[in-house]
Structure 1
C-alpha cells in the first residue's frame, strides 16, 4: 500500500506539470496567432499609402507658369524692361496698325461674290460700292465712314499711289460727262500689289481687280487713308 500511494502521488505530480506546460504552450500559440492577425491588420493599410506607386506615376511639369518666369520687382531684368518701354510701345503701335489692316482685308475677302445692289448696305441684301466699304470698316474695326463715295473721298489723308497700303481707300471717276470729266463715283479697298476689292456694278458681285487694268487705270482719281489709321501710322513712324 505505501508503494502504491507513492506511485499515485508521483503520477499526480507529473500530470500537473505537463498540464501547466501544455497550457503555457497553448497560450503562447494563441497569443502568437492573435498578435500576427493584429500586426497584419495594422500594417496592411500602410501599403495603400506607400509613396512608391504615386512617385512612379507622377511626372514633372513640362512648362513653368508664366508668372514664374516674370522677373521680380526691383531686379535688373525689370529695370531693363522699363528702359525698353519706348521700343515696346513702338512695336505695339506697328502691330496694331498691321492688325487693323489684316482685319479689314480679311473681312472684305470673305464678302466676295455678294451681289451688287444699288444702295445696298448689308451682305444679306447686297452692296453698292460705298455700302461695301462702309460695312467692312464698321464691322472689322468699328470705324464709321460717310455713306457715299464722294463723301468718303473728302475724309482722311491723301496717299500717293506709290505709298498705298492695304486698307487704304481708292477712288475712281466712272461716271464722266461728254467732256470726259466727272466727280468721284466709285470707291474700293486697296489690298496690296496693285489690287483692290470692290462691289463694281449692277449684274456683278464683290470681286478683286487690278489698278493696272486699262479701264481702272484711266479712271483712277486717288487714294485716301482714314484718319484713325493715319494716326496709328503716324505714331508708329514717330516712335
Structure 2
C-alpha cells in the first residue's frame, strides 16, 4: 500500500486518539471538586499523604507534635479561610465567584475545607455546636455578634491570638479583625465550637486518657 493511500487512515487514528484524550481530560475535570482548584489545597488530596492530626491546643498548653506529613482539620479550615481573604461581601453570597455574606463564608469554609455542613444563617449556626467561654476559644471556633439589635446577626471564624476572619458587611471584603476592637467587643454575643470540632476534641481526650 502506498504512503498516500495509508495517510488518511493514520489521520483518522490520530483524530480518534486526540478525541479520546480530550474526553478523558474533561471527565477528570468534572470529577475533581471545584474547591481544590479554588483554594490551592489540591496537593493534599491527590498525594494521599494527608492525615488528620491533633487539633490546635489552647494557649499555654503544649502542642502534641504531629507525625510527618499530617495535616489537621483545623489547619484545613484556617488555611482555606485565609485563602479566601479579599473576596467581596455580598448579601446572601455563598460562593467565591459571587461573594460571601458572613454565614455563607463560614458555611463554605467548613463544607469545602473538611466536608462539614453547617446551618445557613448566623442565628442557626449559633444554635448549633458546643457552647464555650471566651477564655476557651481555640482556632476554628465560631464567634458571634449582635450587630442589629438583640438577635444574632454576624459570625466569624476564630483564628487564634484574639483574631477572627469574617465577611464584614456591604462594601467590604473577607478580612481579619480583633475581638478587642471596640466595635466587636461591644457586640460580642458568644462562641460555639462546631460539632465536628467538638467530636475531634473529645476523641483526642479519650486517646490521651
TM over 0.5, shorter chain: yes
TM-score of the pair, normalised by structure 1: 0.58
Name the residue aligned to 2:103.
130
1:97 alignment partner, SS class? coil
Name the residue aligned to 2:162.
194
Of residues 190, 197, 208 in structure 1, which corresponds to 2:176? 208
Aligned residues: 142
Mapped to 2, the partners of 1:220 and 1:106 lie a distance apart of 24
Structure 2 unmatched runs, 5+: 1-50, 57-71
Kindly report the root-mean-square deviation, in angstroms, between the aligned alpha carbons of the 2 structures.
Answer: 1.3
**Could you list the runs of 4 or more consecutive aligned residues of structure 1 that deviate by over 2 angstroms after TM superposition?**
none
Deviation at 1:237, TM superposition (A): 1.6
Aligned: 1:97 with 2:55: yes
Residues 102-149 of structure 1 show CA distances to partners (whole Å, capped at 9, x for unaligned) of 000000000000000000000001000000000000000000100000
Of residues 94, 98, 101 in structure 2, which corresponds to 1:121? 94
Residues 46-102 of structure 1 show CA distances to partners (whole Å, capped at 9, x for unaligned) of xxxxxxxxxxxxxxxxxxxxxxxxxxxxxxxxxxxxxxxxxxxxxx87x25351110
Name the residue aligned to 1:153.
126
Aligned: 1:108 with 2:81: yes
Larger Rg: 1
Structure 1 unmatched runs, 5+: 1-91, 177-181
